[in-house]
Amino acid sequence: MDLNTESTKPIYIQIAEWIENEIIADRFQSDGKVHSQYQLADLFNINPATAAKGLTILVEEQILYKRRGLGMFVALEAKNMILEKRRNETLTRMARELVLEARRLSVSEEELIQLIKKCEEEQK
Amino acid sequence: MTVIDCQDLRKKYKRMAALDGITFQLKDQKITGLIGRNGAGKTTLLKILAGFIRKGSGDVLVFSSNPFNNLRVSGNSILVDDQMSFPDSLTLADILGMAPDFYKRWDTELANNLFKYFKLNPKQLHSRLSKGNKATFNMIFGLATRCELTMFDEPTNGMDEAVRSDFYRALLKDYIAHPRSIMISSHHLAEMEHLLEDILLIHKGKVVFHQSLEEVKEYAVALQGTTDLVEKLAAGKEILHTKQLDSQRNYVVIKKEEMPVIDGVTTQPVSVSDVCMYVTSDGKGGIDDVFK
Amino acid sequence: MMFLSNSTLGEVVWTQLKFKMNAYLGAVVSLIFVQIIGLIVSMNGNSSTGSGVDNTSFTIITISSDVVFAFVGIWAVFVGKLFTTKAYRYDDFSFVATRLSSNLANFSVLCLMSIFAGVTTFLSNYILRVVLLLVSDVDYVKSVSIFEDPIGTIVNLSIMIILILTISAGGYLWGMLVQIHKAFTYLLILLIITLLVTKTGQTILQYVFIENESIVFLIVKLIALSLVFFLLAILCSNRLEVRR
C-alpha cells in the first residue's frame, strides 16, 4: 500500500487518517483490534516508530484505546467521533481554502454560494 | 539502553580534521540515518564505531566500551561498506558457511533466502563480483549477522534501482522481526527516508542536529512570493536558503516558526533532504549564483 | 532489550584459526611447490670419485635435504610476511576479530604450517633417496634411518620445525614493520648482511646456533626468539588501522 510521501502531510498523520478511514468504512469495528505498529510499518513500508506515532494520536483523541499486552482497539464511539471531527476540521479548512481561492480569483460571495449549490445538484 | 555514546570525539588525518568534536548518543533499536555531504566525516565516524580505526581525542563508547580492539564490540557490531573483503580462496558459499562460527546470532535461513532471491552464484569469488553484486552480497552478510549494532556505509552504491528498493524493504522487514540498532549513511536520503526514525546530520566533522525524522520535516519552511513581501516576512529570521525565481518573485527557506498568513506569499514545507542540503551548504546561495 | 553475545578470546581465536586453515590453503600449495624445486636442485648432489683396490672405481654421492630446507626457509619468511599484508588483515575484520585475536590466530597458523613444513622437508630426504635409487645407477644407499636412531631423528625433526617457526615469526615481524613504514622492506636485507659481515653479527649468530651446551638449550633459545618476534609484531599491529 502506498502513502503519499510527497504530500505536505506528515506520514504519521496519513497513518492516523488511514485508520480513521478504515473505521468509517467499518473495516475496523467498535471494540475490534486494529493493526499493530509493526503490521502498519510492514503494510506501508515505514519505520515502526512513525506508525506508532499515528496510533498514539488516535489514542490521545480517544478514538483508539490500549489494552495492555493485547494491542490497540477501536473505541465504542470512534466512528461518530471521527465523522464529527472531520466535519469540524476538514470541512472548515476546505471551506477556508475555497474562500481564499475565490477571493484571489475575484469570485464574489454570491457566485461562490451559487457554485456550491450547483455542485450539490450534480452529486444528487 | 545507550548503544553509542560519543563525547567531543575528534580524529585527524595528517593535519586534516575529519571529526571535529562529535557529541551524540544513540539509544537502542532505532534506525538512524547518518547524513552529510561528501567529506563530512561519516565514514570516519563509522570506522571508529566499528573499532577499525583509533579515535583521536574525546570519548567514544559502544556498548559501554571503547570499540578499538574490543572483542565484545566486534562480536556485536558490523560495518558494511564497499571495502569489505574476503579471502580469494573462499567462494561466496564458503563465506556464508563460516559466518555462523563468528556471529552467534547469524540467520542462515535469511542469508540463504536472500542469496537465492538476488540470484548470486555460490561458486563466485567475492573479489570477482560486479560492483552491484558485491554491494548486494555485503548487504546480505550484514543483515544476516543480526548484530545488535548494524552499520551500513553507502550500502546501495552500485545497486540498481530494483535492488535498492528490495534492500530497503528487506532491511525494514528484518528490523520489524528483529529490532536492533541500525545506522545507515547514504546520499539517497529521499529514497530511504521512510525507513528512518532519527537523522544524525553531520557537517565538517561536527553534528548539525540529531533529531527524529518528523522533527526534521518541521525544521524549515519555504516562503514563496513577491520579493519585497518575502523579504519583509523573512527579515530577522534564520535564513537557510534563498533563490531568485524571476525578476519579481523569490523563494526563501527559513527555520520554521509561527508566521502570519500574508496574501501573496505562500508557505510550503521543505523536504527532509532539502533541509539537510540547505543546512549544510556554506553560502546562502546555490549553484545558480555561480552562473550569474 | 539488547542481546549482546559474549565470545571469549579463545573461542574467537579458534574460529579464526579454522577460517584461516581453510582460506590460506594456498600457502601450503606454495610450500609443496617450493619443496619440489628444492628436490630437483638437490638431485645433483655432491659427488666425489675414487678408485678401489681392484681397479674398480666408485662414486660417492652425498645428498642431504639442506637445499630443500633452504628453500623452505625462504618460503617461511615470505609466508610470515604475507599474513601481515593489508588484504589478509582486512579479511579478518570482515568477521569478528581484534588485533590480538588476529595475531594469535596467525601465530597458530604459522605453528601448524611450520610443523607441516618440517615434517615434509624431513620426509623429502627419503623421497630423494628413493628417486636416486630409481633414476641413477646407484647400488647402495646408506643412511641413518628413523629406526636406527629414533630419538636423534625426533630431535632433528623438532629443531627443523622450530627453526622454520622462528624464521616465519621473523618474516611476520618484518611484514608488520613494512606495514608501518615501507622503508623497513630493506631492513631485513640490511640486517642479514650485517649479521654475516660484521664481527658482532657473527658473534650473535654463533651464540644462537653454535654455542649450545645441549640441544634443549638451542630449542629453548629458538622458541624464545620466536615469541619475541611475535610479541613485537603484536605491538606493531596495534598501531595499524583497518580499512583506512
For A14, other C-beta atoms within 10 Å of its C-beta total: 18
In this prediction, residues B217-228 reach a mean pLDDT of: 88
H/E stretch holding A82 reads helix A78-86
In this prediction, residues B130-154 reach a mean pLDDT of: 95
pLDDT bucket at C19, cuts 50 / 70 / 90: very high
Give the residue with greater pLDDT, B116 vs C241. B116
Give the residue with greater pLDDT, B190 vs B96. B96
pLDDT in tens, B236-253: 888 888 888 888 888 889
- What pLDDT, on a 0 to 100 scale, did the predictor assign at position B285? 58
Question: How far does B212 lie from chain A, in Å, by closest CA?
Answer: 10
Q: Which stretches of chain B sit within 8 Å of chain C by CB?
A: 1, 3, 28-29, 47, 51-54, 63, 69-72, 74-76, 81, 83-87, 89-90, 94, 98-99, 101-105, 141, 148
pLDDT bucket at A7, cuts 50 / 70 / 90: low
- What pLDDT, on a 0 to 100 scale, did the predictor assign at position B242? 86
Burial (0-12, 13-18, 19+ Cβ within 10 Å), B208? middle
Could you state, in order of their start, the residue ranges of all structural domains in chain A? Answer: 11-77, 79-123
Task: Name the least confident of B253-257, B279-283, C43-47.
Answer: C43-47
In this prediction, residues B222-237 reach a mean pLDDT of: 87
CB-CB: which of C5, C12, C241 is closest to B52? C241
Indicate yes or no: CB of C24 within 8 angstroms of CB of B53: no
- What pLDDT, on a 0 to 100 scale, did the predictor assign at position A5? 63
CB-CB: which of A10, A11, A41 is closest to B176? A41
> What ipTM is given for this predicted complex?
0.84
In this prediction, residues A100-110 reach a mean pLDDT of: 88
Q: How many CB pairs under 8 A join A and B?
A: 43
> One-letter amino acid identity for B173?
K
Q: Best mutation site among C13, C85, C96, C241 for testing chain B: the one with the most B CBs within 10 Å?
A: C96
Indicate yes or no: CB of B69 within 8 angstroms of CB of C98: yes
Task: Name the least confident of B31-35, B175-179, B279-283, C9-13.
Answer: B279-283
What percent of chain B shows pLDDT beyond 70? 97
Across chain B, mean pLDDT equals 90
- What pLDDT, on a 0 to 100 scale, did the predictor assign at position C156? 83
In this prediction, residues B86-101 reach a mean pLDDT of: 92
What percent of chain C shows pLDDT beyond 70? 82
pLDDT bucket at C48, cuts 50 / 70 / 90: low
- What pLDDT, on a 0 to 100 scale, did the predictor assign at position C140? 64
Q: Is B269 on the interface with A (CB under 8 A)?
A: yes
Which residues in C lie closer than 8 A to residue B103 (C-beta atoms)? 5, 95-96
Question: How far does C15 lie from chain B, in Å, by closest CA?
Answer: 6
Q: Is C151 on the interface with B (CB under 8 A)?
A: no
In angstroms, how far apart are the furthest CA atoms of chain B?
70
Whether C144 shows a pLDDT value over 60: the answer reads no
Burial (0-12, 13-18, 19+ Cβ within 10 Å), C1? exposed
Indicate yes or no: CB of B194 within 8 angstroms of CB of A53: no
What gap in Å lies between CA B168 and CA B272, rounded to an integer?
18
Indicate yes or no: CB of A47 within 8 angstroms of CB of B172: yes
pLDDT bucket at A2, cuts 50 / 70 / 90: low
Q: Is C12 on the interface with B (CB under 8 A)?
A: yes
Taking CA atoms, what residue in A is nearest to B174? A42
Give the residue with greater pLDDT, C176 vs C40. C176
CB-CB: which of B194, B263, B269 is closest to A45? B194
- What pLDDT, on a 0 to 100 scale, did the predictor assign at position C51? 60
Tell me A34's DSSP state. Answer: P
- What pLDDT, on a 0 to 100 scale, did the predictor assign at position A6? 62
Fold adopted by A11-77:
Arc Repressor Mutant, subunit A (1.10.10)
Which residues in A lie closer than 8 A to residue B219 (C-beta atoms)? none
Indicate yes or no: CB of C22 within 8 angstroms of CB of B83: no
Whether C188 shows a pLDDT value over 60: the answer reads yes
Taking CA atoms, what residue in B is nearest to C83? B87
**Is the C-alpha dihedral spanning B158, B159, B160, B161 positive or negative?**
negative
Whether C60 shows a pLDDT value over 70: the answer reads no
Q: Could you give the domains of chain B?
A: 2-213 (3.40.50.300), 218-290 (3.30.70)
Which residues in B lie closer than 8 A to residue A10 (C-beta atoms)? 214, 217-218
Taking CA atoms, what residue in B is nearest to A10? B214
pLDDT bucket at C141, cuts 50 / 70 / 90: low
- What pLDDT, on a 0 to 100 scale, did the predictor assign at position A74? 92
Whether C214 shows a pLDDT value over 80: the answer reads no
Whether C142 shows a pLDDT value over 70: the answer reads no
In this prediction, residues B118-132 reach a mean pLDDT of: 93
* Per-residue CA distances from A15 to A51, B193, B209 (Å): 7, 16, 26
How far the first Cα of chain C sits from its last, in Å, is 33
Cell of A81: 467521533
> In sequence order, what DSSP letters do the residues of C125-170 get, joined into one string?
HHHHHHHHHHHS---------TTT-HHHHHHHHHHHHHHHHHHHHH
What percent of chain C shows pLDDT beyond 90? 30
In this prediction, residues A62-87 reach a mean pLDDT of: 90
Among B200, B139, B219, which residue's Cα sits nearest to residue B3?
Answer: B200
Whether C54 shows a pLDDT value over 80: the answer reads no
Q: Is C81 on the interface with B (CB under 8 A)?
A: no
pLDDT in tens, B166-201: 999 999 999 999 999 999 998 888 889 889 999 999
Question: How far does B195 lie from chain A, in Å, by closest CA?
Answer: 5
Taking CA atoms, what residue in B is nearest to A49? B197
Indicate yes or no: CB of B148 within 8 angstroms of CB of C25: no
Whether B39 shows a pLDDT value over 70: the answer reads yes
Across chain C, mean pLDDT equals 82
